[in-house]
Amino acid sequence: MPAMPDANPKYVEIARTLRAEIGASLSPGDYLPSTRQLRARFGVTLGTVRQALALLEQEGVVQTLPFRGTVVLDQAVTAPGRARPAVAPPGARTPATGTPPAVALVMPTPTYLLVSLAHGVERELRRHGMRLQLCGSLDVAAGQAGDLDAVANYEREVLETLARDGVAGVIWWSILGERNASAARALQGAGLPLVLVDEVVPGVDADWVGIDDFGAAVRATDHLLGLGHRRIAFAADQWGVIRYVTGERIAGYVDALQRAGVEAASGQPLPPHVRFRTTDDLDRYLPPGLRPLVLCSPADPVAPLLDLSPRPSAVLAANDHVAEFVLQSARIHGVRIPEDLAVVSFGNVDRYIGRHSTLTTVHQPFDLIGQRAVRLLLQRSREPDRPVQHVHLATRLVIRGSCGAPVAHDPGADPAQPFAVAPRPAATASG
């Protein structure tokens, strides 16, 4: 004879247990344990836990707030069967009925990174039943006209607007982050989880995801040194201000040259606290022999090299965007790549690789950066008091013709063999 089904399914029993605990120890506005914790406690599937919570929600005992968790409701009932309003904690935001909660991605819309990073963010948000709200800021290239204040002001206005927009969180790829640190802190003060990508923003204590820019630059410079280059220039991408990642890459470039005993880099090793942020920092901390080799005008970066004696035989570009200027400038001046000048870059961005299929570059996993940023945001929302995390994703060097090496020269060309260098010591003071 077949067994009789249980009179009370497991999810009903779980709901009954939780209902009793709510009446005994939880007050309106308190949160139930997470679904993961309940699943482990009762030894059931996630679906069973959700069924139990759905039953309690139908009874008006709890309500699941998007991006927040399951909150205990006010037990006062004004009419039989009438749902009780949720008691949301400070900073909780309930989206309009039927509209998934949105996470804002703030980044410069003209940038070549937009598609890859935004795609990673949006794909991960969809997995969690959420949507992307893209908020463009001005590209730092606007600074060519000397109007960096306009760039910073526009970015600040975007951040300030989000504090009133009812978004569930903010992912920020900053342009002039230090100038807008106060606006970012205001978002956090309003209860919004904030995650930084690519750029660290001094003065903002927030989760961050990107790569080890210092270590990647050491590895890229070592590659050029291994090919026999001793006179290596660095092409930066700034107009009066150096982005944080570019500053870290300059520091890694200097470190690699000094460890290799390159004459132009001779001098005192860089102190761990040095962070190149302005041209004054370059004048203050760069060894004198390297100062003519660090170029801060990407429009025609090869021209200054032609006047140096001896001329550099290689250039490390701050990113693929700058590398494009290097390649264009080389064509204008009749400089052959890689015979006269080897080029290595950072990014491996489709937009530029499609144009210059020979570009050797450090692959940055922007799609994965976007996905990981969403996960950090979800964690921060569930555990607002947990320690801040800085996540470095693995990179690899993709060997192509612009450096003059065969593709098989460097094991980093194999996607299965990402390279890494010991992280740079943490900063103890600003540079």
How confident is the model over 197-229, as pLDDT tens digits?
998 888 899 999 999 999 999 999 999 999 999
Position 77 scores a pLDDT of 33
Position 81 scores a pLDDT of 37
φ/ψ bin of 190: left (φ > 0), alpha (ψ from -120 to 50), beta (otherwise):
alpha
Position 19 scores a pLDDT of 87
Place of tokens 């090496």: 405
Residue 227 has a CB neighbour count (10 Å cut-off) of 17
Asked if residue 54 lies in contact with residue 70, where contact means CB atoms within 8 angstroms, the answer is: no
Position 418 scores a pLDDT of 42
The sign of the dihedral angle between the CA atoms of 201, 203, 205, 211 is: positive
- Higher-confidence residue of 351 and 200: namely 200
* Mean of all residue pLDDT scores within the chain: 80
User: Would you say domain 102-210 falls under CATH 3.40.50.1100?
Assistant: no
Closest CA to 218 of 348, 340, 358, 316: 316
Q: What is the CA 114 to chain-centroid distance, rounded?
A: 12
- Structure tokens of 76? 């006062």
pLDDT at 23 over 90: no
Q: What is the mean pLDDT of residues 96-104?
A: 70
**Domain extent listing, the chain:** 10-41+56-72, 102-210, 213-363+397-413
Asked if residue 107 lies in contact with residue 113, where contact means CB atoms within 8 angstroms, the answer is: yes
Position 250 scores a pLDDT of 95
Peptide bond into 411 cis (omega under 30): no
Position 155 scores a pLDDT of 84
DSSP code of 397? E
Closest CA to 238 of 199, 191, 188, 264: 199
- Sheet strands (E) in 248-291: none
Which phi and psi angles does 47 have, rounded to 5°? -60, -40
pLDDT at 429 over 50: no
How far apart CA 429 and CA 286 sit, in angstroms, is: 18
DSSP code of 168? S
- Higher-confidence residue of 7 and 8: namely 8
- Higher-confidence residue of 22 and 207: namely 207
C-alpha separations of 118 from 109, 115, 376, 377 in Å: 10, 5, 16, 15
Which phi and psi angles does 115 have, rounded to 5°? -60, -50
Place of tokens 């790829």: 173
- Higher-confidence residue of 74 and 200: namely 200
% of the chain beyond a pLDDT of 70: 79
C-alpha separations of 97 from 51, 65, 127 in Å: 21, 12, 19
Strands 102-108 and 131-137: parallel
pTM beyond 0.75: the answer is no
Position 28 scores a pLDDT of 74
Residue 356 has a CB neighbour count (10 Å cut-off) of 19
- Structure tokens of 30? 């308190």
- Higher-confidence residue of 259 and 418: namely 259
* Superfamily name and number for 213-363+397-413: Response regulator (3.40.50.2300)
* Domains 102-210 and 213-363+397-413 equal at CATH topology level: yes
Q: With bands split at pLDDT 50, 70 and 90, how would you rate the model's confidence at 412?
A: very low
pLDDT at 283 over 70: yes
Position 4 scores a pLDDT of 38
Asked if residue 192 lies in contact with residue 169, where contact means CB atoms within 8 angstroms, the answer is: yes
With H, G, I as helix, E, B as strand and everything else as coil, classify residue 389: coil
- Structure tokens of 202? 């001094």
